């Protein structure tokens, strides 16, 4: 195997047996560290009579209680730390829509390890020190900013911390600094292209972009392909969350077939969200992660609420770290309409198959004459359709395909390009205006 294709060959090329041996060693150390360092975990363990020494095998992890976002809120701000605060050098906080936000603390070692994980991801998709990396994420509490910044620097790229928004300035930087790698959320990648078209910039002719890292929000395979076609790049799916540091948790390799989750950092479980029992490899369930390479605030069996599955089989890239499938969404994103469970990504998957449509859409749920109804507004692409009958046929065909997928009939409205509201952060895809009885 060619070692130069790995950033950390000694960890990336471990076989399954070696991964599991390392995980067990790190799990035991993490559990003991939590028990001895965190009043929260000590109380949790004591309440069920569990001692760190009881964890003798990886299967014993199932004896450990789950940790939830509510636990983070209840112990806000510092109640879950496993080290004294004077050992911590940074915190990130994600704003909750309700109640307390959550806080994640980091020691310097945590930050170094996090940067290493991000550098490993970027190296895996071909980034090298002669690349120029531009980050369009917000800096600050959102981990996509500093997380990618330190990872890209660790790899040795010239970094452009452009931060979010100001699309014209982003484009100028692409040109002036010969940017080759961009990190953007998928909805913003599409926006960048729109503005390029408006300004007469042809990315293939005028820019050096080669690699795009897209993540932070669910998107379909068709959305990825579209973005690749628009910008003339290879786009790689990047998964992370603040509770697990941020980016660098799981990332696609060049095969673009599932995201390797770094199992020397995390133990992954997929459980049935109702029974909390493990589901077999290959079946969709809730992702549960245990950090085994963190100091300030390790999390044991953290329920992420994200729904995905482990892809069966080996990856030709030579890494044996398990691969997660594209996220199906979060269990809290699920729409329940007329008793039917629907994920926004199911709707996106259908919409993005129509070349007449652009990538922005909005699902509105409302109560009309005491009945709950769904409207899907979707922007038309640049293709000009001036034939009213053709537009109607298109609307009908989209409605039919959506009905086949989600089993209810939404009202589909084709709207002009650029007319749906744009958000600077993660795209807002669902507006729920239903009357709550």
Nearest distance in Å: CB 368, ligand AMP = 30
| Burial (CB count <10 Å: 0-12, 13-18, 19+), residue 168 | exposed
236 DSSP β-pair partners: 213
147 binds, among Zn ion, ligand AMP, none (CB under 5 to 8 A by kind): none
Angle of helix 108-124 versus helix 143-155 axis, rounded to 10:
70
Quick one: DSSP state of residue 422?
Answer: -
Residues numbered 217-256 forming contacts with Zn ion, rule: CB under 5 A: 253, 255
Choose the one of Zn ion, ligand AMP, none that binds residue 217, judging by a C-beta under 5 to 8 angstroms depending on kind: ligand AMP
304 touching ligand AMP, by CB under 6 A: yes
Nearest residue to 126 (alpha-carbon basis) of 253, 216, 237, 238:
253
Residue 291's binding partner out of ligand AMP, Zn ion, none, with CB under 5 to 8 Å set by partner kind: none
Provide, rounded to whole angstroms, the least separation between the CB of residue 41 and ligand AMP.
21
Note whether 240 binds ligand AMP by CB under 6 A: yes
Span near ligand AMP by CB under 6 A; candidates 75-83, 173-181, 237-245, 392-400 = 237-245
Measure the N-to-C terminal CA separation of the chain; round to a whole number of Å.
62
Q: How near is the Cβ of 245 to ligand AMP at its closest, in Å?
A: 10
Is the Cβ of residue 253 or residue 394 nearer to Zn ion in the bound state? Answer: 253
Applying CB under 6 A, among 61, 235, 241, 253 the residue interacting with ligand AMP is: 241
251 binds, among ligand AMP, Zn ion, none (CB under 5 to 8 A by kind): none
306 is a site residue for ligand AMP (CB under 6 A):
yes
Q: How far is CA 325 from the centre of its chain?
A: 11
**String of contacts with Zn ion for each residue 250-289, x by CB under 5 A:** ---x-x----------------------------------
* Structure-derived torsion over alpha carbons of residues 136, 142, 145, 149, reported in degrees to the nearest 10: -160
Of 104, 235, 317, 345, which lies in the binding site for Zn ion, with binding defined by CB under 5 A?
Answer: 317
Give the number of other CB atoms < 10 A from CB of residue 417.
15
52 binds, among ligand AMP, Zn ion, none (CB under 5 to 8 A by kind): none
In the complex, the smallest distance separating the C-beta of residue 90 from ligand AMP, rounded to whole angstroms, is 15
Copy the structure tokens of residue 283.
């079946």
Q: At what angle do helices 344-351 and 221-231 cross, to 10 degrees?
A: 50
> How many angstroms from the chain centroid is the CA of residue 33?
28
Question: Cβ closer to ligand AMP: 146 or 157?
Answer: 146
Nearer residue to ligand AMP within complex by CB, 154 or 429:
429
Q: Name the residue among 206, 154, 162 with its Cα closest to residue 182.
A: 162
Q: How far apart are CA 215 and CA 212, in angstroms?
A: 10
- Least CB distance from residue 371 to ligand AMP, whole Å? 30
Does residue 315 interact with Zn ion by CB under 5 A? Answer: yes
Residue 242 binding ligand AMP, by CB under 6 A: yes
Q: Which of 203, 205, 200, 175 is nearest to 189 (CA)?
A: 203
Q: Out of Zn ion, ligand AMP, none, which partner does residue 94 contact, by CB within 5 to 8 A per kind?
A: ligand AMP
User: Among 238, 92, 145, 93, which Cα is nearest to 153's?
Assistant: 145
Site for ligand AMP in 42-61 (CB under 6 A): none
| 226 backbone φψ class: left, alpha, beta (φ>0; ψ -120 to 50) | alpha
Helix axis angle, 221-231 to 186-198, nearest 10°: 30
- Is there binding between residue 143 and ligand AMP (CB under 6 A)? yes
List the single partner that 116 binds among ligand AMP, Zn ion, none, CB under 5 to 8 Å by kind: none
- Sequence-ordered alpha helix ranges (H) in 108-241: 108-124, 143-155, 167-176, 186-198, 203-206, 221-231
In the numeric block, which tokens belong to residue 122? 């970027």
Nearest-angstrom CA–CA distance, 142 and 154: 19
- Which span (23-31, 216-224, 292-300, 335-343) binds ligand AMP, by CB under 6 A? 216-224
- Residues lying near ligand AMP in the complex (CB under 6 A): 94, 143, 215-218, 237-242, 304, 306, 327, 330
Interaction site with Zn ion (CB under 5 A): 253, 255, 315, 317, 319
């Amino acid at each position: 195997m060619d070692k130069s294709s790995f950033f950390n060959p000694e960890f990336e090329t471990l076989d399954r047996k070696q991964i599991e041996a390392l995980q067990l060693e790190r799990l035991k150390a993490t559990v003991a560290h939590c028990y001895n360092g965190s009043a929260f975990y000590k109380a949790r363990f004591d309440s069920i009579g569990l001692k760190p020494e009881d964890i003798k095998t990886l299967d014993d992890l199932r004896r450990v209680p789950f940790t939830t976002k509510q636990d983070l809120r209840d112990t806000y701000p510092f109640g879950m730390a496993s080290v004294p605060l004077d050992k911590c050098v940074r915190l990130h906080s994600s704003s909750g829509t309700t109640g307390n936000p959550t806080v994640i603390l980091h020691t310097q070692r945590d930050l170094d390890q996090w940067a290493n994980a991000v550098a490993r991801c970027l190296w895996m998709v071909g980034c090298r020190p002669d690349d120029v990396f531009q980050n369009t994420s917000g800096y600050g509490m959102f981990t996509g900013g500093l997380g990618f910044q330190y990872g890209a620097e660790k790899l040795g790229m010239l970094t452009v911390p452009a931060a979010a928004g100001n699309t014209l300035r982003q484009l100028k930087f692409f040109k002036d600094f010969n940017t080759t790698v961009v990190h953007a959320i998928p909805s913003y990648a599409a926006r960048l292209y729109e503005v390029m078209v408006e300004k007469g910039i042809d990315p293939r002719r005028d820019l050096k972009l080669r690699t795009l890292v897209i993540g932070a929000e669910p998107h379909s395979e068709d959305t990825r392909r579209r973005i690749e076609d628009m910008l003339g790049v290879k786009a790689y799916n990047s998964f992370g969350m603040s509770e697990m540091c941020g980016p660098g948790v799981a990332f696609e390799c060049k095969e673009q077939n599932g995201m390797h989750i770094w199992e020397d950092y995390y133990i992954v479980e997929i459980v049935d969200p109702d029974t909390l029992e493990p589901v077999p490899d290959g079946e969709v369930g809730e992702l549960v992660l245990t950090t085994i390479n963190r100091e300030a605030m390790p999390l044991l069996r953290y329920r992420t609420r994200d729904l995905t599955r482990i892809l069966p089989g080996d990856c030709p890239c030579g890494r044996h770290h398990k691969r997660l499938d594209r996220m199906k969404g979060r269990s809290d994103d699920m729409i329940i309409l007329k008793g039917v469970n629907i994920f926004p990504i199911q709707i996106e998957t259908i919409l993005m198959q129509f070349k007449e449509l652009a990538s922005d859409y909005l699902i509105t749920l409302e109560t009309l004459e005491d009945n709950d109804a769904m409207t899907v507004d979707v922007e038309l692409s640049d293709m000009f359709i001036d034939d009213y009958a053709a537009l109607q046929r298109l609307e009908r065909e989209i409605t039919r395909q959506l009905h086949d997928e989600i089993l209810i009939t939404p009202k589909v409205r084709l709207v002009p390009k650029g007319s749906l509201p744009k958000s600077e952060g993660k795209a807002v895809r669902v507006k729920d205006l239903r009357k709550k009885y």
